Amino acid sequence: MVSVIGSPAEILYNTSPGGHWILIQTQGKGSNRDGIGTKIKVTGESGLVQYNHVTTAAGYASSSDKRVHFGLGADTRIREIELRWPSGKVQTLHDVPAGQILKVTEP
């Protein structure tokens, strides 16, 4: 859904060919409960590196899913996921399969 101030909302439909993905859901312990602010680095099996962070801020008068989505293209596995929690802790996961909602709890 896309909205513009003073214009009607529009719904866009993605018709691109499918690929692999992972959705990361964080749960903080020393940080805030939802892990908001956690910085995530994903390195796919092909070597492609992507960065994102946990947030619900997504535009004017709206919010988004706190889970973080990464499109992986042809990669079926993730070589490494690095999470930098707001508390300063760093957590690294290795050899993670794609195509899942991965729940990660702060150590």
> Could you report the per-residue pLDDT of 7-60, keeping only the tens digit for each?
888 888 878 777 999 999 999 999 999 999 999 999 999 999 999 999 998 777
Asked whether 44 and 74 are in contact (CB, 8 A), the reply is: no
Per-residue pLDDT, averaged over 53-68, amounts to 86
> In angstroms, rounded to a whole number, what is the distance separating the alpha carbons of residues 59 and 96?
31
Q: Of the candidates 66, 74, 64, which has an alpha carbon nearest to the alpha carbon of residue 98?
A: 74
Please give the pLDDT value at position 7. Answer: 84
Phi–psi pair at 52, nearest 5 degrees: -160, 180
Q: Which token pair is 107?
A: 């150590």
Q: What is the pLDDT of residue 52?
A: 97
Residue 24: predicted pLDDT: 98
Residue 19: per-residue pLDDT? 92
